[in-house]
Amino acid sequence: MEEDHINSIRQMLISCVSISGVTEDSWTEDNMKTLDQFVVDTSIPCVVVFMHRSNGLQVDYKTPLPGEVVEGLCYISRVPGAIITEETFDAAVQFDTVRGEPLQRLLQDMTCLHAPQVALSTYKKTNKDEYTKDMHWFIAGLTDDLYKKAGNTVLYIPVEALQRSAEETSKDKKLVQRLETIMIHWSDQIKELLNVQETMDTKDNCGPLQEIAFWKSLFTKLSEISKQLQKTEIQDIQKILQLAKSLYLKRFHELATEIQECSLQAESNLTFLSLLKNPCEELSQLKPRQIASKLRHIVVAIRTIWNNSPHYNSSERITGLFCQVHGHVSFPPCELGG
């Protein structure tokens, strides 16, 4: 592609960027080189132009990292595999200026607008397959990053899997491979959530109230992921991969079962540990000379947990609870001296 032609397309791209505060002087040589590469390389699906509060105007092939301060963002994508020329510009290039929280808006546009259009498109299959693979990986990662910041786990569901019958879809090898990649990503998300349980055993200075809060939070998250696993769309994808005899399905089913078991365990732990909630809250407000009368109530509650809880009935667990109570009883020096 001739240099003059590249320069012309670059100017057309620049003219479509509508971000507050961006002027002609904002565009650095590196910015323009990145745009030029997007123009000539049909394998690059998108370019992101954003105003960074500290570093000025940035042009990249990926979105800003979570936590970066961005004051405006423009998302430019090409039709899969399309060659961008002056004549094909309007048909080959799509723009979206993101306002509000940039990554959240970008995710919404990608999942609700862009991905469905790609799934229904009639582009050359080899180009479409390659682009769709990268698109799914991008959206899945963006979904995970955004919701993880809020403490949630959300499974991204590729809409292209729902366009045809499971039998027909299972015969498309490239599509099956993309769904396997998504299932591997789901499995990694689930394993990360399951591994959270192990952190409670390694936490220092954790009292009974903190442990109750931990199991409550974990039960909520496990229940939410369990609901997602019951969604018709996720069930349909499992059916497709079952028909395709995917080797990744067995491990996913094992993790889904483990989620159910851990959810029941978290619910049970929360139920029994909640017996300590009120007495421990009261204990934290008492003066030292008032503590003895309340400790008997706590000992009875711990004994009830030991006798009835299916998961807190070991000597190690019960000893841990007594240590937590002991470690969180406050004895001010003035009271002890009195």
Give me the pLDDT at residue 331, please: 44
Q: State the CB neighbour count (10 A cutoff) for residue 234.
A: 19
User: What number is the average pLDDT over the span 145-174?
Assistant: 91
CA–CA distance, 182 with 189 (Å, rounded to integer): 11
- Angle, vertex CA 163, rays to CA 160 and CA 165, nearest 5: 120
pLDDT band at 266 (very low <50, low <70, confident <90, very high): very high
Share of the chain above pLDDT 70, in %: 90
Give the pLDDT band (50/70/90) at residue 242.
very high
Report the pLDDT averaged over residues 80-97. 88
The answer to whether 167 touches 244, Cβ cutoff 8 Å, is: no
In a domain, 13, yes or no: no
Position 19: which residue type?
I
Instruction: Judge whether 106 and 135 are in contact, CB under 8 Å.
Output: no
For residues 251 and 257, what is the distance between their CA atoms, to the nearest angstrom?
Answer: 10
- pLDDT of residue 105 exceeding 90: no
Q: Angle at CA 49, nearest 5°, toward 32 and 130?
A: 90
The answer to whether residue 42 scores a pLDDT higher than 70 is yes
3-state DSSP assignment of residue 338: coil
What gap in Å lies between CA 133 and CA 127, rounded to an integer? Answer: 10
What is the extent of the structural domain holding 289? 176-338
Q: What is the pLDDT of residue 338?
A: 38
Task: Specify if 271 maps to a domain.
Answer: yes
Question: Is pLDDT of 330 > 70?
Answer: no
- State the DSSP H helix or E strand holding residue 243, giving kind and residue range, or none if neither: helix 232-243
Distance, CA of 193 to CA of 290 (rounded, Å): 41
pLDDT (tens digit per residue) in 297-308: 888 899 999 999
Give 104 or 218, the one with higher predicted confidence: 218
Q: Is residue 220 part of a domain?
A: yes
pLDDT at 233: 92
One-character DSSP codes across 119-182: HH----HHHHHHHHHHHHHHHHHHHHHHHHHTT-------GGGGSS-HHHHTT-HHHHHHHHHH
User: Taking the model in full, what pTM does it have?
Assistant: 0.67
Between the CA of residue 57 and those of 21, 26, 126, what are the distances in Å?
9, 6, 34
Q: Is residue 164 part of a domain?
A: no
More confident residue, 243 or 56: 243
What b-and-e string marks burial along 51-81, b requiring 16 or more CB atoms within 10 Å of the CB?
A: beeeeebbbeeebbeeeeebebbbbbbbbbb
Residue 283 domain-assigned (yes or no): yes
CB 109 within 8 A of CB 146: no
- Strands across the sheet with 70-78, in order? 56-60, 46-52, 70-78, 93-98
Which has more pLDDT, 229 or 119? 229
Q: Within a domain: residue 114?
A: no
Confidence category of residue 162, pLDDT binned at 50, 70, 90: confident
**12-21, 145-154, 168-177: which has the highest mean pLDDT?**
168-177
Highest mean pLDDT among 73-82, 304-313, 318-327: 304-313
Q: Under the phi-then-psi rule, with left for phi > 0, alpha for psi from -120 to 50, and beta for the rest, what region is 253? A: alpha
Asked, for residue 337, whether it belongs to a domain, the answer is yes
Q: Each residue of 147-168: b (16+ CB within 10 Å) or e?
A: beeeeebbbbbbbbbbeeebee
Domain tally for the chain? 1
CA atoms within 13 A of residue 58's CA, in its CB half-sphere: 20
pLDDT at residue 16 above 90? no
Using 50, 70 and 90 to split pLDDT, how confident is the model at 327?
Answer: low
Q: What is the pLDDT of residue 199?
A: 61
pLDDT band at 192 (very low <50, low <70, confident <90, very high): very high
pLDDT for 62: 81
Is the per-residue pLDDT at 12 higher than 50? yes
In a domain, 187, yes or no: yes
- Supply the Cα-derived Rg of the chain in whole angstroms: 28
